[in-house]
Amino acid sequence: MVALGGDPVYSYCATAPMPDNMDEYLLAGFLRNKAVELVPCRTQPLEVPANADFIIEGYIDVDEPLVTEGTFGDHTGFYSLEDEYPLFHVTAITHRRNAVYPATVVGIPPQEDAYMGQASEKIFLSPIRLAIAPEVRDIHIPFEGTGHNIVLVKINQQYQGQPIKVAHALWGAGQMMFNKMMIVVDDDINLSDYQAVIQAIEKHYRPEYDTYFSRGPLDVLDHSTATPGFGEKMCIDATRKIKNEELRIESETLQQPNVIARRPQADEANSSYTGSLNLKLSILFDEEVDTSDFSTCVWLLGNNVDPARDCKIEAGKLIIDARSKITNDISTNLQLPQRWPNIVCMDAATIAAVDKKWDKLGLGPLFLSPSLKFQRLVRKGGVRVC
């Protein structure tokens, strides 16, 4: 069954990071402080919201072979790669009088869905603190993190190892398991102030000691991994060093993390680095990227990096390769993705068609297409480069 429209809270609850086996209607009722009114479907033994605009009824036969779906422009700002999914057999479509079909524009962030993610940050903060990690004071997912790639966390740190304990706890919490990069800071940092987060990294982060790597489930839309839906994770501890921790750092013989390093390749001259964070962190981007554009750089960092393959700690610096990875790369010993998607970007003909209709739509002064900014990042060869 697919329900479209009705109370806007339904759209949010359908995307909310609910625990397994918990009904989204319960969350909708909680947010509205009243139960969701349900009515029976016409052809299936299910109930649906009475005020939905459209209801699509049907079934899935688990014994049928999967069918190929995609590619689609997605909320990551890239085209999701084609994959196999169950086939949905439609048995009925009903709608209200004067029904309104809801739609959300997705693409390079920020788009409409980014604000739904902000709601989840606050709605689910208290359950996380009560049930999983009481030391967490706030969680923030930047728009550029597309819901899960990059997460900022601030904690009340009381003992050694607490930042990485929190990281593992959150990586095991529902849809937070899809997170790929986590930065943990102290509880006096405003997570929405990115400059303050950067200053915490500059002041407290020591790459050899404070970089932690793990692995686990990732979003199936993550194109950077060699294995769909599974890959590497990284936590950066940018908290203050507490009692005895400084002494332990000085006394330990720091070992290089056990990760596969992707060194800059022969085409390094055609690539570009961002500015270093106090010589502790450098990021390598494709030559087409404007590295003065902070938002674009963070978006590409979250999407294009597999931490184990694309990170190297060398001479006290974390080097991250956030370039596109394509199968004709001169590196032959790395597990590169089989396919690499293009970004979601309107072509010149589509932009011109929209601009031509703008006055007739009554939307006010012409708003230039955001795609103009990203056209230089579109790669030749269609949806993906193979």
Active site residues: 74
Q: How far apart are CA 222 and CA 230, in angstroms?
A: 9
Looking at the DSSP assignment, which residues form a beta bridge with residue 234?
Answer: 181, 213
Distance CA 77, CA 70 (A): 15
Beta strand 54-60 pairing with 88-95 = antiparallel
Provide the residue count of the chain.
Answer: 386
Which candidate, 73, 96, 75, places its Cα nearest to that of 5?
A: 96
Counts of helices then strands in the chain (DSSP H, E)? 12, 20
Q: What residues are paired with 93 via a beta bridge?
A: 56
* Phi, psi angles (nearest 5°) of residue 376: -70, -15
- Which pairs from 192-199 meet CB under 8 Å and 24+ separation? 192/140, 194/142, 194/294, 197/152, 197/238, 198/277
**Interatomic CA distance for residues 238 and 243, integer angstroms:** 16
Report in angstroms the alpha-carbon separations of 25 from 8, 18, 30, 122, 367.
13, 11, 9, 19, 38
Residue type at position 300: L
Which sign does the torsion angle of CA 88, 80, 372, 152 carry? positive
- Rounded CA separation 45/65 (Å): 24
> Who's near 35: CB < 8 A, 6+ residues apart?
29
Burial letters for 91-123: b for 16+ Cβ neighbours within 10 Å, e otherwise? eeeeeeeeeeeeeeebbbbbbebbebbeebeee
Nearest Cα to 155, choosing from 147, 165, 163?
163
Residues 6+ apart with CB under 8 A from 219: 148, 178, 229
